[in-house]
Amino acid sequence: MKRLTLLLAATALSGSAMAADRWDGGDDLATNPLACDGSAGVAAAKDYDGGQPASGPDRMGKEITLIDVPKLVGIGYFAATTEGMRQAAEELGNVNVTTDGPTEANIDDQITFIDNYITQGVDGVLFAANDPVAIAPVLKKALGAGIHVVGYDANSEPDAREWFVNQAEFNGIGKSLIDAMAQEIGEDGKFAIVTSTFTTPNQARWIAEMQDYQEACYPNMEWLETVEAQEDNILSFNQANTLINKYGDDLDGIFGMTSVATPASAEAVTQAEACGETAVVGLATPNAMKPYVASGCVKSVVLWNPVDLGYAAVYVLRAAADGKLAPGGKEVEAGRLGTLQVVNGSEVLLGAPFVYSMDNIDDFDF
């Protein structure tokens, strides 16, 4: 039986949604769940729906200065995207890129950072949005100033940027997470979710895809609740602890939807002496999860390579600045990553999600 006495008193749920709530992914887009048998999905062709910068200086082949403003700085995930950007800039030789941003995942602070750099004057803005709608006006301001704008990791409204580098398509992430959880807790298990906020664009869309895929392919699984924990390690730990305490033996698994929430949830399960009884599946960097995978408390970590994500974002912006990637383009060359495909009108797809496990996690260092 799970030990329900907590080593750290958990806070009350600051934001939660019960399973009956329908998820819209933080926008009005329809979901596109993949087939239960693993066959490839079919995506409808879509016209370019991004924005375009106002007429600016000719930047083709010339040295450009970029500012990267992620959701927040000071966590391993965005340290990894920053390293990928540095690598791309070094390879290209005509790109200078700097990362700067808030120390907490606060959209108002993120907007202020971007606005300040528009005033200072840069050639390009790279961003990972804390809120797709709230960030749009400042990104449109950048476009209006003739600045190139490329998103990665978490999108904005499409017309507020030129391109978005998508680490993996939302339905692929949703399928990978649900399949991994079903393998661990069975097709009639019960689970809860720890995310950042209900409006954070990538996480909200992943959850929407997870819900529709689970209902179609594992209809007997039960989704108990989803809670918000920002991108805060202590709050994520406390929220996971609260779920363990609230549901007890009914809680078979916890999904962590952020690189902070997943290791924090694993730590909560470890401290509650619930390893083997409550599975943890989620998105996180390998280094953060290695102790929990080594202990056997976590079996599956779903992600992509955030170093490659940052690397690709710089190559995409360089191609846009050079006129090599324009509306209607179908692919872009991205250095060591080869040719990346354009999907959904104005998204550049990094690739399929990757599942880290005890068999391979030590092969990665980020």
- Distance set, CA 239 to CA 14, 74, 234 (Å): 9, 21, 9
Dig out the tokens for 353 from the structure: 């999600």
Which string of DSSP letters, residue by residue, matches 102-144?
-SS--HHHHHHHHHHHHHH--SEEEE--S-TTTTHHHHHHHHH
Which string of DSSP letters, residue by residue, matches 317-342?
HHHHHTTSS-TT--EEE-GGG-EEEE
Element (H, E) at 17: strand 16-18
Domains, the chain, ordered by start:
16-40+169-303 (3.40.50.2300), 64-168+306-343 (3.40.50.2300)
CB distance 279 to 273 below 8 Å = no
Query: 129, 124, 125: which is closest to 108 by C-alpha?
Result: 129
Residue 21 confidence (pLDDT): 61
- Phi, psi for 117 (deg, rounded to 5): -75, -30
Q: Which residues contact 18 (CB under 8 A, 6 or more apart)?
A: 224, 225
The rounded distance, in Å, linking the Cα atoms of 187 and 174 is: 16
CB distance 124 to 66 below 8 Å = yes
Dig out the tokens for 151 from the structure: 């998103």
Residue 17 confidence (pLDDT): 64
Residue 22 confidence (pLDDT): 64
The rounded distance, in Å, linking the Cα atoms of 340 and 211 is: 28
pLDDT in tens, the chain (366 residues): 333 333 333 333 446 665 546 666 666 678 888 999 877 655 567 899 999 999 989 999 999 999 999 999 999 899 999 999 999 999 999 999 999 999 999 999 999 999 999 999 999 999 999 999 999 999 999 999 999 999 999 999 999 999 999 998 889 999 999 999 999 999 999 999 999 998 888 899 999 999 999 999 999 999 999 999 998 999 999 999 999 999 999 999 999 999 999 999 999 999 999 999 999 999 999 999 999 999 999 998 999 999 999 999 999 999 999 999 999 999 999 999 999 999 889 999 998 888 899 999 998 888
Whether the pTM exceeds 0.85: the reply is: no
Q: Which residues on adjacent β-strands are paired with residue 356?
A: 301
The rounded distance, in Å, linking the Cα atoms of 297 and 302 is: 15
- Phi, psi for 91 (deg, rounded to 5): -65, -45
Query: 170, 109, 161: which is closest to 139 by C-alpha?
Result: 161
Residue 98 confidence (pLDDT): 98
Q: Starting at the edge strand that comes first in sequence, how are the strands of the sheet with 354-356 ordered?
A: 16-18, 222-228, 190-195, 253-256, 279-283, 300-303, 354-356
Query: 152, 257, 270: which is closest to 194 by C-alpha?
Result: 257
Query: 128, 173, 134: which is closest to 31 by C-alpha?
Result: 173
Residue 176 confidence (pLDDT): 93
Indicate the residue type of 279.
A
* CB atoms near residue 79 (< 10 Å): 17
Query: 207, 85, 106, 87: which is closest to 150 by C-alpha?
Result: 85
The rounded distance, in Å, linking the Cα atoms of 191 and 250 is: 8
Residue 4 confidence (pLDDT): 35
Residue 7 confidence (pLDDT): 33
